[in-house]
Structure 1
Amino acid sequence: MLVEKIHHVAYRCRDAKETVEFYRDILDMELVGAIAEDKVPSTKAPDPYMHIFLDAGAGNILAFFELPNSPPQGRDPNTPEWVQHIAFQVGDVAALETVKAKAEAAGVDVVGPTDHDIFKSIYFFDPSGHRLELAAWTTTPETLARLKAVAPAMIEEWAVTKKPPRHAAWLHEKEFSAS
Protein backbone atom coordinates (compact mmCIF):
# COMPACT_ATOMS: atom_id res chain seq x y z
CA MET A 1 0.00 0.00 0.00
CA LEU A 2 1.33 3.44 -0.88
CA VAL A 3 -0.64 5.31 1.79
CA GLU A 4 1.08 5.24 5.16
CA LYS A 5 -1.73 6.85 7.19
CA ILE A 6 -4.13 9.77 7.10
CA HIS A 7 -2.13 13.01 7.31
CA HIS A 8 -5.13 15.03 8.47
CA VAL A 9 -8.87 15.22 7.97
CA ALA A 10 -10.30 18.72 7.56
CA TYR A 11 -13.80 20.05 8.18
CA ARG A 12 -15.32 23.48 8.31
CA CYS A 13 -16.07 25.14 11.64
CA ARG A 14 -18.10 28.23 12.44
CA ASP A 15 -15.57 29.61 14.94
CA ALA A 16 -11.94 28.49 15.26
CA LYS A 17 -11.51 29.58 18.89
CA GLU A 18 -14.76 27.92 19.98
CA THR A 19 -13.72 24.75 18.14
CA VAL A 20 -10.27 24.64 19.77
CA GLU A 21 -11.83 25.12 23.20
CA PHE A 22 -14.45 22.40 22.64
CA TYR A 23 -11.99 19.76 21.45
CA ARG A 24 -9.49 20.73 24.16
CA ASP A 25 -12.00 20.78 27.01
CA ILE A 26 -14.13 17.76 26.05
CA LEU A 27 -11.65 15.45 24.26
CA ASP A 28 -8.29 16.69 25.61
CA MET A 29 -7.00 17.46 22.10
CA GLU A 30 -4.12 19.89 21.90
CA LEU A 31 -3.90 22.68 19.33
CA VAL A 32 -0.71 21.87 17.41
CA GLY A 33 -0.85 24.45 14.64
CA ALA A 34 -2.71 27.27 12.97
CA ILE A 35 -2.33 28.74 9.50
CA ALA A 36 -4.15 31.84 8.26
CA GLU A 37 -4.01 33.33 4.78
CA ASP A 38 -5.88 35.76 2.56
CA LYS A 39 -5.70 33.45 -0.46
CA VAL A 40 -6.18 29.73 -0.95
CA PRO A 41 -2.69 28.26 -1.56
CA SER A 42 -3.80 25.69 -4.13
CA THR A 43 -6.15 27.87 -6.22
CA LYS A 44 -4.91 31.38 -5.32
CA ALA A 45 -8.57 32.39 -4.91
CA PRO A 46 -9.08 35.29 -2.47
CA ASP A 47 -10.75 33.69 0.53
CA PRO A 48 -9.39 34.55 3.99
CA TYR A 49 -9.34 31.57 6.34
CA MET A 50 -8.07 30.24 9.65
CA HIS A 51 -6.90 26.62 9.44
CA ILE A 52 -6.41 24.89 12.81
CA PHE A 53 -4.81 21.54 13.56
CA LEU A 54 -5.63 19.42 16.63
CA ASP A 55 -3.74 16.39 17.93
CA ALA A 56 -6.21 13.49 17.84
CA GLY A 57 -3.64 11.04 19.24
CA ALA A 58 -1.31 8.44 17.72
CA GLY A 59 -0.13 10.85 15.03
CA ASN A 60 -3.65 11.63 13.81
CA ILE A 61 -4.51 15.25 13.08
CA LEU A 62 -8.02 16.71 12.99
CA ALA A 63 -8.16 20.05 11.18
CA PHE A 64 -10.79 22.74 10.70
CA PHE A 65 -11.23 25.81 8.52
CA GLU A 66 -13.05 28.93 9.64
CA LEU A 67 -14.22 30.79 6.52
CA PRO A 68 -15.64 34.18 7.61
CA ASN A 69 -16.49 35.39 4.08
CA SER A 70 -18.40 32.27 3.03
CA PRO A 71 -22.12 31.66 3.50
CA PRO A 72 -23.01 29.75 6.69
CA GLN A 73 -22.20 26.08 6.48
CA GLY A 74 -25.02 23.67 5.85
CA ARG A 75 -25.65 19.98 5.63
CA ASP A 76 -26.58 17.80 2.70
CA PRO A 77 -30.37 17.71 3.19
CA ASN A 78 -30.55 14.30 1.51
CA THR A 79 -28.21 12.60 4.00
CA PRO A 80 -29.50 11.77 7.49
CA GLU A 81 -27.51 13.58 10.19
CA TRP A 82 -26.45 10.29 11.82
CA VAL A 83 -24.54 9.19 8.69
CA GLN A 84 -21.77 11.78 8.44
CA HIS A 85 -19.64 11.68 11.57
CA ILE A 86 -16.12 11.57 12.91
CA ALA A 87 -15.40 8.50 15.03
CA PHE A 88 -12.57 8.50 17.56
CA GLN A 89 -11.27 5.39 19.28
CA VAL A 90 -10.78 5.45 23.04
CA GLY A 91 -9.04 2.86 25.22
CA ASP A 92 -12.01 1.33 26.97
CA VAL A 93 -15.63 1.75 28.06
CA ALA A 94 -14.48 3.63 31.18
CA ALA A 95 -13.03 6.32 28.88
CA LEU A 96 -16.43 6.56 27.14
CA GLU A 97 -18.09 7.14 30.49
CA THR A 98 -15.49 9.78 31.43
CA VAL A 99 -16.02 11.74 28.21
CA LYS A 100 -19.80 11.38 28.49
CA ALA A 101 -19.72 12.88 31.99
CA LYS A 102 -17.38 15.69 30.91
CA ALA A 103 -19.51 16.52 27.86
CA GLU A 104 -22.78 16.45 29.78
CA ALA A 105 -21.26 18.68 32.50
CA ALA A 106 -20.49 21.17 29.70
CA GLY A 107 -24.12 21.09 28.56
CA VAL A 108 -23.59 18.75 25.60
CA ASP A 109 -26.34 16.20 24.82
CA VAL A 110 -24.82 12.70 24.59
CA VAL A 111 -26.43 9.55 23.20
CA GLY A 112 -25.22 6.21 24.53
CA PRO A 113 -23.29 4.21 25.30
CA THR A 114 -24.68 2.19 22.39
CA ASP A 115 -23.64 -1.46 22.23
CA HIS A 116 -22.65 -2.44 18.66
CA ASP A 117 -21.59 -5.91 19.84
CA ILE A 118 -17.98 -5.41 18.69
CA PHE A 119 -17.63 -1.97 20.27
CA LYS A 120 -19.57 0.46 22.42
CA SER A 121 -19.89 4.11 21.52
CA ILE A 122 -21.32 7.48 22.48
CA TYR A 123 -22.50 10.22 20.13
CA PHE A 124 -22.72 14.01 20.37
CA PHE A 125 -22.32 17.13 18.26
CA ASP A 126 -19.50 19.68 18.28
CA PRO A 127 -20.32 23.44 18.24
CA SER A 128 -20.29 23.50 14.41
CA GLY A 129 -22.83 20.66 14.17
CA HIS A 130 -20.44 17.83 13.28
CA ARG A 131 -21.59 14.54 14.74
CA LEU A 132 -18.88 12.84 16.79
CA GLU A 133 -18.63 9.26 17.93
CA LEU A 134 -16.28 7.85 20.53
CA ALA A 135 -15.85 4.09 20.28
CA ALA A 136 -14.24 1.48 22.52
CA TRP A 137 -13.59 -2.03 21.20
CA THR A 138 -15.28 -4.82 23.19
CA THR A 139 -14.57 -7.78 20.90
CA THR A 140 -11.92 -10.36 20.12
CA PRO A 141 -9.49 -10.64 17.22
CA GLU A 142 -11.33 -13.82 16.17
CA THR A 143 -14.63 -11.99 15.82
CA LEU A 144 -13.00 -9.21 13.79
CA ALA A 145 -11.38 -11.84 11.54
CA ARG A 146 -14.75 -13.51 11.00
CA LEU A 147 -16.30 -10.15 10.04
CA LYS A 148 -13.46 -9.42 7.65
CA ALA A 149 -13.85 -12.84 6.02
CA VAL A 150 -17.52 -12.24 5.11
CA ALA A 151 -17.14 -8.58 4.09
CA PRO A 152 -16.34 -9.16 0.37
CA ALA A 153 -19.36 -11.43 -0.11
CA MET A 154 -21.56 -8.90 1.66
CA ILE A 155 -20.41 -6.10 -0.65
CA GLU A 156 -21.08 -8.22 -3.73
CA GLU A 157 -24.58 -9.18 -2.56
CA TRP A 158 -25.38 -5.58 -1.60
CA ALA A 159 -24.24 -4.34 -5.02
CA VAL A 160 -26.79 -6.59 -6.68
CA THR A 161 -29.75 -6.48 -4.28
CA LYS A 162 -29.36 -3.24 -2.26
CA LYS A 163 -30.77 -5.26 0.66
CA PRO A 164 -28.85 -5.97 3.88
CA PRO A 165 -26.94 -9.26 3.47
CA ARG A 166 -27.17 -11.68 6.38
CA HIS A 167 -23.55 -12.94 6.36
CA ALA A 168 -22.82 -11.24 9.71
CA ALA A 169 -26.29 -11.51 11.25
CA TRP A 170 -24.75 -13.72 13.93
CA LEU A 171 -23.15 -10.64 15.38
CA HIS A 172 -26.41 -8.96 16.34
CA GLU A 173 -28.30 -12.16 16.97
CA LYS A 174 -25.77 -13.18 19.68
CA GLU A 175 -25.47 -16.64 18.07
CA PHE A 176 -21.71 -16.45 17.65
CA SER A 177 -19.56 -17.77 20.44
CA ALA A 178 -15.78 -17.56 20.22
CA SER A 179 -14.23 -20.97 20.62
Structure 2
Amino acid sequence: MKIDRIHHVAYRCKDAKETVLWYQKMLNMDFVLAIAEDLVPSTKEPDPYMHIFLDAGNGNVLAFFELPTKPEMGRDPNTPVWVQHIAFRVKDRAELLEYKAHLEANGVEVLGVTDHGAFHSIYFFDPNGHRLELACPDPDEANMLKRMDEVKWDMLEEWSQTKRAPKHAAFFHKREFEEQQA
Protein backbone atom coordinates (compact mmCIF):
# COMPACT_ATOMS: atom_id res chain seq x y z
CA MET A 1 0.00 0.00 0.00
CA LYS A 2 1.14 3.55 -0.75
CA ILE A 3 -0.66 6.88 -0.51
CA ASP A 4 -1.16 8.35 -3.99
CA ARG A 5 -1.39 12.03 -2.95
CA ILE A 6 -3.31 14.39 -0.70
CA HIS A 7 -6.92 14.62 -1.86
CA HIS A 8 -7.52 17.89 -0.02
CA VAL A 9 -6.55 19.69 3.15
CA ALA A 10 -9.37 21.32 5.12
CA TYR A 11 -9.30 24.18 7.60
CA ARG A 12 -11.94 26.27 9.27
CA CYS A 13 -12.84 29.73 8.01
CA LYS A 14 -14.77 32.64 9.47
CA ASP A 15 -16.65 33.51 6.27
CA ALA A 16 -16.76 31.21 3.23
CA LYS A 17 -17.43 33.94 0.67
CA GLU A 18 -14.74 36.25 2.05
CA THR A 19 -12.29 33.33 2.03
CA VAL A 20 -13.04 32.40 -1.61
CA LEU A 21 -12.73 36.01 -2.77
CA TRP A 22 -9.48 36.55 -0.81
CA TYR A 23 -7.79 33.41 -2.19
CA GLN A 24 -8.93 34.32 -5.72
CA LYS A 25 -7.61 37.87 -5.46
CA MET A 26 -4.44 37.31 -3.44
CA LEU A 27 -3.24 33.89 -4.66
CA ASN A 28 -5.11 33.49 -7.96
CA MET A 29 -6.79 30.25 -6.85
CA ASP A 30 -9.92 29.06 -8.63
CA PHE A 31 -13.08 28.27 -6.67
CA VAL A 32 -13.91 24.70 -7.72
CA LEU A 33 -16.62 23.30 -5.45
CA ALA A 34 -19.03 24.09 -2.63
CA ILE A 35 -20.93 21.63 -0.46
CA ALA A 36 -23.49 22.70 2.13
CA GLU A 37 -25.44 20.35 4.39
CA ASP A 38 -27.45 20.42 7.61
CA LEU A 39 -26.08 17.06 8.74
CA VAL A 40 -22.41 16.05 8.90
CA PRO A 41 -22.22 13.03 6.54
CA SER A 42 -19.64 11.08 8.57
CA THR A 43 -21.19 11.56 12.03
CA LYS A 44 -24.83 12.45 11.18
CA GLU A 45 -24.48 15.31 13.68
CA PRO A 46 -26.97 18.10 12.98
CA ASP A 47 -24.65 21.00 12.22
CA PRO A 48 -25.09 23.19 9.13
CA TYR A 49 -21.87 23.98 7.30
CA MET A 50 -20.48 25.39 4.07
CA HIS A 51 -17.51 23.45 2.69
CA ILE A 52 -15.56 25.24 -0.05
CA PHE A 53 -12.76 23.93 -2.26
CA LEU A 54 -10.02 25.94 -4.00
CA ASP A 55 -7.57 24.84 -6.68
CA ALA A 56 -4.06 25.20 -5.28
CA GLY A 57 -2.42 23.96 -8.51
CA ASN A 58 -1.28 20.57 -9.85
CA GLY A 59 -4.22 18.67 -8.38
CA ASN A 60 -3.79 20.14 -4.90
CA VAL A 61 -7.00 21.25 -3.25
CA LEU A 62 -7.33 23.60 -0.29
CA ALA A 63 -10.71 23.41 1.47
CA PHE A 64 -12.42 25.33 4.24
CA PHE A 65 -15.47 24.85 6.47
CA GLU A 66 -17.61 27.71 7.69
CA LEU A 67 -19.42 26.59 10.86
CA PRO A 68 -21.94 29.27 11.87
CA THR A 69 -23.31 27.41 14.92
CA LYS A 70 -19.92 26.83 16.55
CA PRO A 71 -18.02 29.20 18.86
CA GLU A 72 -15.64 31.63 17.18
CA MET A 73 -12.55 29.89 15.87
CA GLY A 74 -9.23 30.35 17.61
CA ARG A 75 -5.70 29.02 17.73
CA ASP A 76 -4.04 26.51 20.01
CA PRO A 77 -2.57 28.88 22.64
CA ASN A 78 0.29 26.43 23.31
CA THR A 79 1.52 26.38 19.70
CA PRO A 80 3.55 29.37 18.40
CA VAL A 81 1.89 31.19 15.51
CA TRP A 82 4.77 30.35 13.13
CA VAL A 83 4.38 26.57 13.50
CA GLN A 84 1.06 25.79 11.85
CA HIS A 85 1.04 27.04 8.28
CA ILE A 86 0.23 26.13 4.71
CA ALA A 87 3.14 26.42 2.26
CA PHE A 88 2.66 26.79 -1.50
CA ARG A 89 5.42 26.53 -4.10
CA VAL A 90 5.83 29.17 -6.78
CA LYS A 91 7.97 28.92 -9.90
CA ASP A 92 10.96 31.12 -9.06
CA ARG A 93 12.22 34.11 -7.09
CA ALA A 94 10.83 36.60 -9.62
CA GLU A 95 7.33 35.19 -9.10
CA LEU A 96 7.85 35.14 -5.33
CA LEU A 97 8.75 38.85 -5.40
CA GLU A 98 5.78 39.56 -7.68
CA TYR A 99 3.45 37.91 -5.15
CA LYS A 100 5.11 39.85 -2.31
CA ALA A 101 4.51 43.15 -4.10
CA HIS A 102 0.92 42.15 -5.00
CA LEU A 103 0.08 41.15 -1.42
CA GLU A 104 1.62 44.30 0.07
CA ALA A 105 -0.16 46.50 -2.49
CA ASN A 106 -3.41 44.93 -1.28
CA GLY A 107 -2.71 45.66 2.39
CA VAL A 108 -1.35 42.26 3.42
CA GLU A 109 1.62 42.39 5.80
CA VAL A 110 4.38 40.15 4.43
CA LEU A 111 7.42 38.79 6.29
CA GLY A 112 10.50 37.92 4.25
CA VAL A 113 12.04 36.96 1.87
CA THR A 114 13.67 34.31 4.11
CA ASP A 115 16.54 32.26 2.67
CA HIS A 116 16.13 28.63 3.75
CA GLY A 117 19.06 27.37 1.68
CA ALA A 118 17.15 25.09 -0.70
CA PHE A 119 14.27 27.53 -1.03
CA HIS A 120 13.23 31.11 -0.29
CA SER A 121 9.96 32.06 1.40
CA ILE A 122 7.58 34.84 2.32
CA TYR A 123 5.00 34.57 5.10
CA PHE A 124 1.62 36.23 5.69
CA PHE A 125 -1.85 35.54 7.10
CA ASP A 126 -5.18 34.94 5.38
CA PRO A 127 -8.35 36.66 6.72
CA ASN A 128 -9.01 33.64 8.96
CA GLY A 129 -5.69 33.96 10.77
CA HIS A 130 -4.05 30.99 9.00
CA ARG A 131 -0.35 31.55 8.36
CA LEU A 132 0.61 31.04 4.73
CA GLU A 133 4.00 30.62 3.07
CA LEU A 134 4.99 31.03 -0.56
CA ALA A 135 8.27 29.31 -1.39
CA CYS A 136 10.42 29.22 -4.51
CA PRO A 137 13.37 26.95 -5.22
CA ASP A 138 16.93 28.18 -4.73
CA PRO A 139 19.21 27.70 -7.78
CA ASP A 140 21.16 25.21 -5.63
CA GLU A 141 18.01 23.39 -4.45
CA ALA A 142 18.95 19.91 -5.75
CA ASN A 143 22.37 19.96 -4.07
CA MET A 144 21.00 21.31 -0.79
CA LEU A 145 18.22 18.71 -0.65
CA LYS A 146 20.70 15.94 -1.43
CA ARG A 147 22.90 17.08 1.46
CA MET A 148 19.86 17.29 3.76
CA ASP A 149 18.77 13.80 2.73
CA GLU A 150 22.18 12.42 3.70
CA VAL A 151 21.86 13.59 7.31
CA LYS A 152 18.12 13.32 8.03
CA TRP A 153 18.21 10.02 9.95
CA ASP A 154 21.23 11.04 12.03
CA MET A 155 19.52 14.34 12.86
CA LEU A 156 16.29 12.64 13.83
CA GLU A 157 18.08 10.14 16.06
CA GLU A 158 20.13 12.82 17.81
CA TRP A 159 17.03 14.98 18.32
CA SER A 160 15.08 12.05 19.75
CA GLN A 161 17.85 11.46 22.31
CA THR A 162 18.72 15.06 23.29
CA LYS A 163 15.82 17.34 22.23
CA ARG A 164 18.52 19.80 21.11
CA ALA A 165 18.99 21.02 17.56
CA PRO A 166 21.57 18.80 15.84
CA LYS A 167 24.23 20.64 13.83
CA HIS A 168 24.37 18.16 10.92
CA ALA A 169 22.60 20.63 8.64
CA ALA A 170 23.88 23.96 9.93
CA PHE A 171 24.68 24.77 6.28
CA PHE A 172 20.96 24.93 5.46
CA HIS A 173 20.30 28.44 6.82
CA LYS A 174 23.93 29.59 6.73
CA ARG A 175 23.39 32.35 4.12
CA GLU A 176 20.41 33.75 6.02
CA PHE A 177 22.39 33.97 9.27
CA GLU A 178 25.44 35.44 7.51
CA GLU A 179 23.27 38.17 5.94
CA GLN A 180 21.76 39.01 9.37
CA GLN A 181 25.25 39.33 10.87
CA ALA A 182 26.46 41.69 8.11
Q: TM-score with structure 1 length normalisation?
A: 0.94
Task: Give the distance between the partners of 1:105 and 1:168, measured in 2 at CA.
Answer: 36
- Larger CA deviation: 139-148 vs 104-113: 139-148
- Residue equivalent to 2:130: 130
Which structure 1 residue ranges, 4+ long, deviate > 6 Å from structure 2? none
List runs of 5+ in structure 2 lacking aligned partners. 176-182
Task: Give the distance between the partners of 2:81 and 2:125, measured in 1 at CA.
Answer: 10
List runs of 5+ in structure 1 lacking aligned partners. 175-179
Aligned-pair distance for 1:104? 1.1
Q: TM-score with structure 2 length normalisation?
A: 0.93
- Residue equivalent to 1:85: 85
- Within a 5 Å distance, the mapping from 1:158-173 to structure 2 comes to 158-173=159-174
Task: Give the distance between the partners of 1:170 and 1:104, measured in 2 at CA.
Answer: 31
Task: Give the distance between the partners of 1:58 and 1:124, measured in 2 at CA.
Answer: 22
Aligned-pair distance for 1:155? 0.4
Task: Give the distance between the partners of 1:108 and 1:140, measured in 2 at CA.
Answer: 28
Aligned-pair distance for 1:141? 1.6
The CA deviation string for residues 78-136 of structure 1, in whole angstroms up to 9 with x for no partner, is: 00001100000000111111111111111110111111121111000000000000000
- Within a 5 Å distance, the mapping from 1:1-179 to structure 2 comes to 2-138=2-138, 139-173=140-174
The CA deviation string for residues 129-148 of structure 1, in whole angstroms up to 9 with x for no partner, is: 00000000102322211101
Aligned-pair distance for 1:166? 0.7
The secondary structure found in structure 1 opposite 2:63 is strand
Equivalent residues of 2:117, 2:144 under 8 A apart: no
The secondary structure found in structure 2 opposite 1:20 is helix
Percent of residue pairs bearing the same amino acid type: 63
Letter in 1 for 2:149: K
Aligned-pair distance for 1:172? 3.0
The secondary structure found in structure 2 opposite 1:48 is strand
Task: Give the distance between the partners of 1:173 and 1:42, measured in 2 at CA.
Answer: 47
State the superposition RMSD in angstroms.
1.0
